[in-house]
Structure 1
Amino acid sequence: MTAVLVTGGAGYIGSQVVLALLEAGFRPTVLDDLSTGVREAVPPGTPFVLGNAGDSDLVRTVLERTESQAVLHFAASLVVPESLDHPLRYWRNNLGTTLGLLEGMMRAAVLRLVLSSTAAVYGIPETLPVDEDAACHPINPYGSSKLAAERLVTEVAAAHALRCVALRYFNVAGADPAGRSGQRRPGATHLIKVACDAALGRRDAVEIHGDDYATPDGTGVRDYVHVADLASAHVAALHHLLDGGGCLTVNCGYGHGHSVRQVLAAVGRAAGRPVPWRLAPRRAGDPPAVVARAELVRQRLGWRPRHDSLDRIVADALAWERRGSIRAAVQLSAAGE
């Protein structure tokens, strides 16, 4: 089995990718500092190293000890509103950590990288759907720092033998269809997670941040992609690199968008009750609409998504949140005994 290192593998997306890697016959090791990840998210039996992915000495040691042939890099900060309040933190983590990781990889002579990136690098696209050749003008520190990380990797690849696939995610949502992994981070801001919480009575309402955008119903439109499909794109990217493929930058989305109101309606259908909401001001750093042109990932990586349905994404997310409520109730009951 081919060994690989997964940084940030205790997080929402990283843990789902670890599951996909195991199913595909790889031998992953997870490196995570648990600043936002959760140890329980790492599949049982998967080697785990507690540490920072930007520690080049640690990265080199882990790569050499595990005989890893590639790195999948998820360790990053990713909340747009938070990035506006804490830009230094975002630049330090998203760019600085990538710099340290690359130094460790070069020293260990591991020259294959699958990079987690984001559609936030595009900012407010001039045309939709947005393709990989579109101009990048990020409008928040999250997008700016991730674009800088992409450019750093590109420059390292030009100077060395490094080969990288950068996957620009659109809006990742849902949970593992088998119920093994999902969104665990407290206070997560993803719309579908927030809407599920409201449907289950964990919060009083969902805030719709602006209803006067130039979109069909006035609310923001996003291209939602199921986390399990995104995980399969990472496995495809890894195969591409291991088979001798060159550097690529590709969008990971479905190519069609859904508005905030459409998402709330889908969660309401799944929950069997309307989702309470209230109107709130627009948030700084939010573009009106972002939808992928997603042909390249299919053409170059052979990606075939299996869960391209808003109702499926919502159903899996809601099922995961309901399991979480049951787990919490059991824990409270046990604590009271």
Structure 2
Amino acid sequence: MKKVLITGGAGYIGSTVASALLDQGITPVILDDLSKGRPEFVEGRVFYQGDIADAALLDRIFAEHPEIGATLHCAARIVVPESVGKPLFYYRENVAKTVDLLESLQRNGCTRVVFSSSASLYAPTPDGRVDETCPVEASSPYARTKQMMENVLQDWTRGEGAERIRVVVLRYFNPIGADPQLRTGLQDLSPTHALGKLIEAHADGTPFTVTGVDWATRDGSGIRDYIHVQDVAEAHAAALTRFDEVVRPADEDRFRVINIGTGEGTTVRELVAAFEQAVGATLDVREADPRPGDVLGCYAAVDNARELLGWSARRTIAEGVADALAWRTKWTARLASA
């Protein structure tokens, strides 16, 4: 596979995957509207600015890059509280535009798709551990859009003229950190996820709030599977390079779901403790009710990822914290000098 189209390739996940592909000699062709992605993240890369629903632009991309062998669909709106307040916006941006994208892919003969999905659509389990057979029960408009996008993709593999269409879905858990070479990282200095808020609290000297302290976990705080973003990127790269082994054209079911995580659960309080140890300081930690759309959380069973992708997470939470802090320092300096 010489080239891969990455939608949302100027964002946090997409840009890190693009770097991982470049490291393997695969050229990423990036499509991003830059509503959240950063132009700095596509410098020196093949880049098209535009909407995934722009059929004429997709036709142009495939005409100019006929070597594209697969599409990695990362483009999506992802903020849970925003999705609660603006559900129609999320359904239009994430679901309706995905349909337009798939029509363009099919028209241009791109029959391999890796979908960057989310573990947020899993139904809660008693201990938080989930495998790919666990029920889904998305609890926010954002998560429901991911679930609906998966449904669309699965139905797409079964429709008329879909004999060659194959889809691998990666349900990844909670990415942390940055590209270890600091080529890209979290572009938002005020993120909504736990580690971003910890870094913000540490940098600004403000309190960190644990949202939700009465969950059915060992310490009452939510449980997550925090995974280094570089591990997430390498999992996506493995899904692309091993695509024809994971889903073959002759398979009756050409839709495959794979969990991407560490296989270990970490509570928010445990994340706080790990962060404090990494930075050598104690934070002012406070408690609050869950945010709209918050859930207990979950962590991954990752047997399928090891077996099918030959992949497993290699980096620790401490490495994720260190890379996130290093990236914030670099990114803050760059924004200040811009």
Indicate the TM-score class for this superposition, using the shorter chain for normalisation: over 0.9
Read off the aligned partner of 1:270 and give its amino acid letter: A
Residue 321 of structure 2 is aligned to residue 319 of structure 1: no
Read off the aligned partner of 2:177 and give its amino acid letter: G
Counterpart contact for 1:265–1:275, Cα < 8 Å:
no
1:170 equivalent in structure 2: 173
Percent of paired sites with the same residue: 39
Structure 2's unaligned 5+ residue stretches are 249-254
Counterpart contact for 1:251–1:292, Cα < 8 Å:
yes
Q: 1:93: how far off?
A: 1.3
2:149 equivalent in structure 1: 149
Structure 1's unaligned 5+ residue stretches are 333-337
2:260 equivalent in structure 1: 252
1:223 equivalent in structure 2: 225
How far does the alpha carbon of each residue in 1:278-311 deviate from its partner, in whole angstroms, 9 at most, with x for none?
A: 222122322213111111111111113221x211
- The CA distance in 2 between the partners of 1:128 and 1:273, in whole Å, is 30
- The CA distance in 2 between the partners of 1:314 and 1:30, in whole Å, is 28
Structure 1's 79 and 15: CA in aligned 2 closer, same or farther, altered over 3 A? same
- The CA distance in 2 between the partners of 1:233 and 1:115, in whole Å, is 12
Counterparts of residues 176-187 of structure 1 (less than 5 Å): 176-187=179-190
Structure 1's 199 and 244: CA in aligned 2 closer, same or farther, altered over 3 A? closer
Q: 1:187: how far off?
A: 3.0
Residue 207 of structure 2 is aligned to residue 205 of structure 1: yes
How far does the alpha carbon of each residue in 1:223-259 deviate from its partner, in whole angstroms, 9 at most, with x for none?
A: 0111000101111111122557333111111111111
Q: 1:188: how far off?
A: 1.6
- The CA distance in 2 between the partners of 1:58 and 1:259, in whole Å, is 44
Counterpart contact for 1:58–1:104, Cα < 8 Å:
no
Structure 1's 304 and 291: CA in aligned 2 closer, same or farther, altered over 3 A? closer
Residue 71 of structure 2 is aligned to residue 71 of structure 1: yes
- Tell me which of 238, 261, 280 is aligned to 2:240: 238
2:194 equivalent in structure 1: 191
2:304 equivalent in structure 1: 296
For 1:31, what is the secondary structure of its paired residue? strand
Counterparts of residues 83-162 of structure 1 (less than 5 Å): 83-125=83-125, 128-159=128-159, 160=162, 161-162=164-165
1:335 equivalent in structure 2: none
RMSD over aligned Cα, in angstroms? 1.7
Counterpart contact for 1:124–1:138, Cα < 8 Å:
no
Counterpart contact for 1:271–1:318, Cα < 8 Å:
no
Q: 1:186: how far off?
A: 4.5
Counterpart contact for 1:32–1:75, Cα < 8 Å:
yes
How far does the alpha carbon of each residue in 1:36-85 deviate from its partner, in whole angstroms, 9 at most, with x for none?
A: 1111012x321110100122332222123211111111100111111111
Read off the aligned partner of 1:63 and give its amino acid letter: F
For 2:157, what is the secondary structure of its paired residue? helix
Counterpart contact for 1:123–1:287, Cα < 8 Å:
no
Counterpart contact for 2:171–2:260, Cα < 8 Å:
yes
TM-score for both structures, normalised by structure 1: 0.93
Counterpart contact for 1:210–1:282, Cα < 8 Å:
yes
- The CA distance in 1 between the partners of 2:188 and 2:96, in whole Å, is 23
How far does the alpha carbon of each residue in 1:256-278 deviate from its partner, in whole angstroms, 9 at most, with x for none?
A: 11111111222222222112222
2:53 equivalent in structure 1: 54
For 1:279, what is the secondary structure of its paired residue? strand
Counterpart contact for 2:120–2:297, Cα < 8 Å:
no
Q: 1:123: how far off?
A: 3.5
Query: Mean Cα displacement is larger for which, 241-250 or 254-263?
Result: 241-250
TM-score for both structures, normalised by structure 2: 0.92
Structure 1's 52 and 150: CA in aligned 2 closer, same or farther, altered over 3 A? same
- The CA distance in 2 between the partners of 1:134 and 1:281, in whole Å, is 27
Counterpart contact for 1:8–1:37, Cα < 8 Å:
yes
